[in-house]
Amino acid sequence: MTVHTPIDSRTSGVPAWALAFTVIVLLAGGAYFGTNLGGENASASGTPEPSGGGFNAVAIMDAAGCQACHGPDLAGVAIFPSLLGVKDGPVSENLAQLFADYPDTWAELWIAGTDPATSDAAMRAGMPAFAGPPYSLSPEEIAAVVAYLKTLP
């Protein structure tokens, strides 16, 4: 059987202290809003806008979970290397040979998964998360991500 003991309240009105507190904080919030409208949102897809048919590199990387391993600022965490500075080539030694063989497309190859003949399973699977679909990205999405990464310092 349902226990029903109604909860009473001592008063049904709103005391002056509660009203004053509410008005003060709402006014402060309104003032913050009114005095901080001069800015502009940064592009979620990085600067400059990546090419690639309207794909958003940051959205793709966010969905694929890149920051989970490479850090929120993509500067690397523990064994997971930094993605900053890849405009000059890979920052990891294990990709040096790939860079030497394919200096223009090494990043796309690495993200997509390298040659099936490669002995290293992780390198063969590629990025992200060393796993297959749906974390794997389409060629257009990979192009957008690489274009964005190459804009980073």
Q: Does 116 bind other proteins (CB under 8 A)?
A: no
Count of residues that bind other proteins according to CB under 8 A:
68
Binding letters toward other proteins, positions 74-113, x by CB under 8 A: -xxxxxx-x-x-----------------------------
Asked whether 135 and 128 are in contact (CB, 8 A), the reply is yes
Q: Does 117 bind other proteins (CB under 8 A)?
A: no
What does DSSP assign to residue 13? Answer: S
Asked whether 52 and 150 are in contact (CB, 8 A), the reply is no
Q: Applying CB under 8 A, which part among 59-67, 92-100, 105-113 lies near other proteins?
A: 59-67
Q: SS3 for 29?
A: helix
In angstroms, give the least distance from the CB of 115 to other proteins: 19
Q: Which of 152, 137, 130, 153 shows the shortest CA–CA distance to 45?
A: 152
Q: Does 133 bind other proteins (CB under 8 A)?
A: yes
Q: Does 20 bind other proteins (CB under 8 A)?
A: no
128: preceding bond cis by omega (within 30 degrees): yes
In angstroms, give the least distance from the CB of 104 to other proteins: 24
Beta pairing partners, 80: 77
In angstroms, give the least distance from the CB of 102 to other proteins: 25
CA 86 to chain CA mean position, Å? 17
Exposure of 50 by Cβ count < 10 A (0-12 exposed, 13-18 middle, 19+ buried)? buried
Residues that bind other proteins (CB under 8 A): 1-15, 17-19, 21-22, 25-26, 28-30, 32-33, 36-37, 39-45, 54-56, 58-60, 62-65, 68-69, 71-73, 75-80, 82, 84, 128-135, 141
